[in-house]
Amino acid sequence: MTDESTVRFQPWDEAGRVPPGTTLLEAARGLDIGIESLCGGEGLCGTCKVVVEEGVDCLTEPSKADELLFSDDQLAAGHRLSCRAAVDQPGCAVTATVPSASQQTGGVVLTEGVEREVELDPAVKHYRLELPTPSLEANVADRERLLDGLADAYDLEVTAVDWLVQQELPNRLRATATPDGLAVTATVYDGSEVIDVSPGLDEAVYGLAVDIGTTTVAAYLMDLRSGERLAVSSRLNPQSRFGGDIMTRVRHTRRQEGGREELQEAILEGVNGCIAEVTRDADVDPDDVYEAVCVGNTAMHHLFLGIEPSYVAGSPYVPGNHAALQVKARELGLEINPSGYVSWLPVSGGWVGPDKVSVLLVSGHYRGDELTVCIDIGTNGEISVGNRDGMWVTSAPAGPALEGAELTHGIRAQAGAIEAVEIDRETFAPSCETIGGEAPIGICGSGVIDLLAGLFETGVVDRRGQFRDAVRGHERLRTKDDGVLEYVLVTADDAGVDHDIVCTQNDIREIQMAKAAIQAGTLVLLEELDVETVERVVLAGGFGNYIDPESAMTIGLYPDVDEATVESLGNAAGSGAQLALLNRAHREEANAIVELVDYYEIAGTDVFRDHFMDAMYLPHREFERYPRVKARLEALRNVDDEPI
Amino acid sequence: MTDESTVRFQPWDEAGRVPPGTTLLEAARGLDIGIESLCGGEGLCGTCKVVVEEGVDCLTEPSKADELLFSDDQLAAGHRLSCRAAVDQPGCAVTATVPSASQQTGGVVLTEGVEREVELDPAVKHYRLELPTPSLEANVADRERLLDGLADAYDLEVTAVDWLVQQELPNRLRATATPDGLAVTATVYDGSEVIDVSPGLDEAVYGLAVDIGTTTVAAYLMDLRSGERLAVSSRLNPQSRFGGDIMTRVRHTRRQEGGREELQEAILEGVNGCIAEVTRDADVDPDDVYEAVCVGNTAMHHLFLGIEPSYVAGSPYVPGNHAALQVKARELGLEINPSGYVSWLPVSGGWVGPDKVSVLLVSGHYRGDELTVCIDIGTNGEISVGNRDGMWVTSAPAGPALEGAELTHGIRAQAGAIEAVEIDRETFAPSCETIGGEAPIGICGSGVIDLLAGLFETGVVDRRGQFRDAVRGHERLRTKDDGVLEYVLVTADDAGVDHDIVCTQNDIREIQMAKAAIQAGTLVLLEELDVETVERVVLAGGFGNYIDPESAMTIGLYPDVDEATVESLGNAAGSGAQLALLNRAHREEANAIVELVDYYEIAGTDVFRDHFMDAMYLPHREFERYPRVKARLEALRNVDDEPI
């Protein structure tokens, strides 16, 4: 006969035997089950809640803290602080469920694009406190009463209190005065500043990751206690009404009095729209959102924060700052808690902004051994090459062709857009896949790459990207009035529009120029590192999820590598912002990346121009640089006799 | 025959002999003459300017830095950087005048009230920089270009740039681009944050000391480079329209929706009015004013900053904060440079606010050996007692009688107010002095104290403050309808008003109650320190300048001490704010004072009530506590037979 009792924890269904007097928190620790306990088992913080399903009568009576934190109904249903509830009797069987909010999570998994586990350590945290009731004897001021409480209960050396919080502090502290003291929850930013004080126990603490693209804005609402993503909202960047591309918008700030303010207001309006939507969808009070971690290219960063963008837009492309900037939400007018913060990741250099830094946070290749190229394809292609021993980054002016724009029948990725193309070697007839399986209405980025690769593989175009005379007269090829050929991808009969969908010689030039810019940028960096090629290719951006790796390599968009090593990160910029929001260490990492990575400004340099001319060829003037592509092509047809 | 030359410096008329190649700065150092040189003689900062009156041809040609900093006219007139101008030829005689802005001042003397020397070390300083011109090679971002410059030239580890400054930084840096680089002046706050960047050399840097009283507001505009006071402005506190006393205003915040905001706006309007006036008077751009150091009582502090004042206004009198608070000027709407700061000195406790801490900064008695009482007389009398071994502070509810209010013919200090009274021992006839020598219209604080002391000394009133029956029938004493006596100070014939100016029995009660509150507060603190009396008395407030020390001691306003040890500091609160503005070390000192001084809350305590009853007597129920007063009185008349 023993005095011990059995305590079992759900959802793990793990049990152990404990002597009388053992608290449930201690029992869990004995089983290596992690229950949150911010205050270290002092009955203060309320983070170690469990629900006792069986054997509640074997436990000590509910403590004062339990009575304060739980309603009568909850107490009756077995809700207890695990640090206060001790097994009181011998030979009992107790079963307790640990709700997910009380579970000490090793980390959460982000599934946006690539999966990445992240330990939770957000900048914003809640601390529940019980403070002495003010009296003639205990007459220390409210601010110091609060800060002393944080030091005593949580060993936090907080020295700052936001001004707005200070104004209301006397009221907030006294809102839930009990005979035992003042019960409040303090919201602390980065362990150093109180940014909110709420009466009683307040568990709601949320944050936003915001990805500001030239074209679209996306906001992710995250629960900072669980790491869970609660809602997402995206919309067109309202700055688009001032111009679709960055240069037009920057010109607007120079030419129009108050233009910089107009652009700033537009993007803030867009982000505030996203905030209204995600908080409504998740039923969250915007005042419980305490931080927005933002990423975007350098121009978006400058325009969002109201920083003069003119000088980064022209040579020598010097940005206003490298450092990670932080501004109070109320100063910007971002509609979250006014005492909260808007935090931008740092700027690498020139056009290589916080979005690229965010991508590097996710790809992590700056700290790996493998020599890697990481390409974020957009109007500007941001390219990084290197490994832990050294890394260069640059921005290449790809233009919008790979996004489907500025081609005769190019369109953005949307229902009816041709996203994949294969061309028959004999008939040159294409087979097209469209988004949503609808009748084709145009061709988008991934289709464009497939198309050019297919035309080259089948010999419709030569290594210079010109329609070969040999294909003249073929039914898919049509001679225009000026004698130049064009390739008919879909006839009007099969299209969802009332005309043929074609690819002209000029379209092919546009695609070549786009890929050549990225390829040349990559080659400049490879040369700077004094290496010939890389071991691994990482693609970022929504685009990367859809392009066919073989097609992309065939036209030379990235170096010749084993296809198995090509990885797509999806929207890595948004994922990186989430990482930085959920764990402060990733912000330090982002700062370290900016220190570590060398920015190479290629614009206007001779070395870029030279590489660009060579990169106009398919896949490159020096075919030997693409041995895998060359071997495959040679198996299909004779490529050596083509003019270069 | 020697190669040496003679260099003479004005205004000191000191000369020394130096070998060729010696710069004027070096020559001055050899003579122990202090010339400012922030950058250490690198030709960067422009602080070491001199005017060469004689022998300019013996010096090296003007340097690039000279050409940048001086106009052609100035160069022709002999203006030079002393660090760049070296004696070039043997056997010359050079005379240079060091203008006051270039003189390394040991300190400046504040003459507001008591004189106090202060070393200049303001929080706000200007640093002139020459930064590398941006290029493809030197493409570090603007923020880091600026911060690197501050680190290189001045060894400053600045990490923050105000957001508004960051927004304009790209424009500001490039505003005076020269072939040699970007010439700018950075304004740095407390060595840690850039709060302005101006093109070229900008020497204008000013600050404000602001003293916010319940009744009046005063602002002092100070040149932070010279320590000179440039202008003063004072006006009625516009909060007065919501009530003359603090309690009425605090009630307004509770009873009126938006009342707290109204009171905050009112005081900001008052201070902004002062700012407009001092900057206009001194011809200073408000944007060149970078800091306002504020003092005031706890209620003024709370209402200015918008902090809930209700709880400090009632028992247990807990303020919102002790710590020195700092808010960006733009957040408050104070009309100085929007990136500048409003800095309040800390709060001791209860009603003992930053104004009293400021007084202690000036009196310094918390760090002396002498046991001292320091009294700041106002509607609340703030009292501190102690020395370096320990000090207590409290606030006593004196009411407005000593300020002339609530007496039958009491008025504020103004032209025609009786400020001094003597009473003839035989005739009981008063001789009055008025402010400005005008016909009397009423009696103000210092007159009130003289009057009561005179009535007591001459035996018109007894130690209980009651008119003695023995004086009934005397021509100066009039029996009113209710049989109670009143003393006629001035008859209508001699007055500047159309009625007699009198002192009633009730007036005497009011005065007794006011002095008793201060006396009792002092006695509570003496008891707490376990001492009987003090060695020194310090009076603060404008009031202290005018009261007669003997009269004040006779009625018992402060302890019985050698009259020679009674010192009046004048408006010490305003002086303390100036000290803190001109030298950061005094802010640390203010924080140390709050740590060092124990706040005693006397309101509602039995010990205060008991002392108050005893203190209603003249000078005190226990006459032995006032041996000097007793000895003097006994020489005049028999006081032992008076009822107590």
User: Structural domain boundaries of chain B?
Assistant: 5-102, 123-199, 206-344, 363-399+516-636, 401-511
3-state helix, strand, coil split of chain A in percent (to 5) is 35, 25, 40
pLDDT at position A45 = 76
Note whether A143 contacts B320, CB cutoff 8 Å.
yes
Lowest mean pLDDT among A623-632, B62-71, B526-535: B62-71
pLDDT for B624 beyond 70: yes
Q: Which of A308, A328, A591 to mutate to test the interface with B (most CBs of B within 10 A)?
A: A308
Q: pLDDT-derived band of residue B159, with 50, 70 and 90 as boundaries?
A: very high
Q: pLDDT-derived band of residue A137, with 50, 70 and 90 as boundaries?
A: confident
Joined together, the tokens standing for residue A628 give: 């895998």
pLDDT at position B221 = 97
pLDDT at position A280 = 96
CA-closest candidate to residue B503, choices B438, B428, B593, B614: B428
Note whether A308 contacts B168, CB cutoff 8 Å.
yes
pLDDT for B346 beyond 70: yes
Q: pLDDT-derived band of residue A38, with 50, 70 and 90 as boundaries?
A: confident
Q: Looking at per-residue confidence, does B607 or B65 come out higher? A: B607
pLDDT at position B198 = 94
Joined together, the tokens standing for residue B140 give: 């570090």
Searching chain A, which residue's CA lies closest to the CA of residue B315?
A136
Instruction: Round to whole Å and give the CA distance between B442 and B439.
Output: 9
Q: pLDDT-derived band of residue A111, with 50, 70 and 90 as boundaries?
A: very low
- Going A499 to A504 to A506 to A511, the CA torsion angle's sign is positive
| DSSP labels, B237-278 | -GGGGG-SSHHHHHHHHHHSTTHHHHHHHHHHHHHHHHHHHH
Beginning with the edge strand found earlier in the chain, give each strand of the sheet holding B536-540 in spatial order: B566-568, B536-540, B372-376, B380-387, B390-397, B597-599
Note whether B320 contacts A169, CB cutoff 8 Å.
yes
> Which of A134, A169, A320 lies at the smallest CB-CB distance from B143?
A320
> Which of B316, B322, B604 lies at the smallest CB-CB distance from A143?
B322
Mean pLDDT of A409-414: 84
Q: How many CB atoms lie within 10 A of CB B164?
A: 17
Q: Is A287 in contact with A195 (CB distance < 8 Å)?
A: no
Searching chain B, which residue's CA lies closest to the CA of residue A161?
B325
Residues of A in contact with B352 (CB under 8 A): none
Note whether A167 contacts B141, CB cutoff 8 Å.
no
Note whether A311 contacts B167, CB cutoff 8 Å.
no
Searching chain A, which residue's CA lies closest to the CA of residue B307?
A167
Mean pLDDT of A472-483: 87
Q: Is B347 in contact with B303 (CB distance < 8 Å)?
A: no
Lowest mean pLDDT among B5-9, B394-398, B521-525: B394-398
Rounded to the nearest angstrom, the minimum Cα separation between A318 and chain B is 5
> Which of A171, A307, A315 lies at the smallest CB-CB distance from B136?
A315
Q: Is B379 in contact with B403 (CB distance < 8 Å)?
A: yes
Residues of B in contact with A349 (CB under 8 A): 139, 141
Pairing of strands B566-568, A341-344: unpaired
- 3-state SS record for A155-196: CCCCCEECHHHHHHHHHHHHCCEECCEEEEEEEEECCCEEEE
Instruction: Encode pLDDT of A532-578 as tens digits.
Output: 889 999 998 777 778 899 999 999 999 999 989 999 888 889 999 99
pLDDT for B81 beyond 80: yes
Joined together, the tokens standing for residue B27 give: 């020559």
Q: How far apart are the first and last CA of chain B?
A: 92
One-letter identity of residue B283: D
Joined together, the tokens standing for residue B555 give: 């009625």
Mean pLDDT of B197-202: 89
Instruction: Encode pLDDT of A172-224 as tens digits.
Output: 999 988 788 999 999 999 999 999 999 988 889 999 999 998 888 999 999 99
Mean pLDDT of A84-100: 89
Instruction: Encode pLDDT of A367-391 as tens digits.
Output: 899 999 999 887 788 999 999 998 9
Q: Looking at per-residue confidence, does A224 or B46 come out higher? A: A224
pLDDT for A24 beyond 50: yes
One-letter identity of residue A547: I
pLDDT for A112 beyond 70: no
User: Class assignment of domain B363-399+516-636?
Assistant: alpha beta
B503 phi/psi in degrees, rounded to 5: -125, 115
Q: Give the number of beta-carbon pairs within 8 Å between A and B.
A: 138
Asked, colleague to colleague, whether A5-102 and A123-199 share their fold, the answer is: yes
Give domain A123-199's CATH architecture. Roll (3.10)
Joined together, the tokens standing for residue A43 give: 């009955």
| DSSP labels, A191-245 | TTEEEEEEES-----EEEEEEE-SSEEEEEEEETTT--EEEEEEEE-GGGGG-SS
Mean pLDDT of A618-638: 92
Mean pLDDT of A328-356: 96
Instruction: Round to whole Å and give the CA distance between B376 and B571.
Output: 9
Q: Is A310 in contact with A258 (CB distance < 8 Å)?
A: no
pLDDT at position B111 = 47
Instruction: Encode pLDDT of B294-304 as tens digits.
Output: 999 999 999 99
Q: How many helices (H) and strands (E) does chain B have?
A: 17, 30
One-letter identity of residue B485: L
Superfamily, domain A206-344:
Domain of unknown function (DUF4445) (3.30.420.480)
pLDDT at position B115 = 61
Q: pLDDT-derived band of residue A480, with 50, 70 and 90 as boundaries?
A: confident
Instruction: Round to whole Å and give the CA distance between B418 and B500.
Output: 13
Tell me what the pLDDT averaged over chain A comes to: 91
**pTM as predicted:** 0.85
Rounded to the nearest angstrom, the minimum Cα separation between B311 and chain A is 7
Note whether B311 contacts A168, CB cutoff 8 Å.
no
Joined together, the tokens standing for residue A170 give: 């006397």
Note whether B318 contacts A166, CB cutoff 8 Å.
no
Instruction: Encode pLDDT of A143-160 as tens digits.
Output: 999 999 999 999 999 999
Q: Is B210 in contact with B294 (CB distance < 8 Å)?
A: yes
pLDDT for A414 beyond 70: yes
pLDDT at position A299 = 95
**What SS3 class is residue B387?**
strand
Mean pLDDT of B369-393: 91
pLDDT at position B606 = 92
Q: pLDDT-derived band of residue B570, with 50, 70 and 90 as boundaries?
A: confident
Let me know if domain B5-102 sits in CATH 3.10.20.30. yes
Q: pLDDT-derived band of residue B400, with 50, 70 and 90 as boundaries?
A: confident
Residues of A in contact with B168 (CB under 8 A): 308
- The DSSP output letter for A72 is H
Note whether B318 contacts A349, CB cutoff 8 Å.
no
> Which of B142, B321, B327 lies at the smallest CB-CB distance from A143?
B321
pLDDT at position B1 = 47
Q: pLDDT-derived band of residue B80, with 50, 70 and 90 as boundaries?
A: very high
Helices B259-281 and B298-305: crossing angle, nearest 10°?
90
The set of residues, in sequence order, having a beta carbon less than 8 Å from that of B215 and lying 6+ positions away, is B236, B237, B240, B244
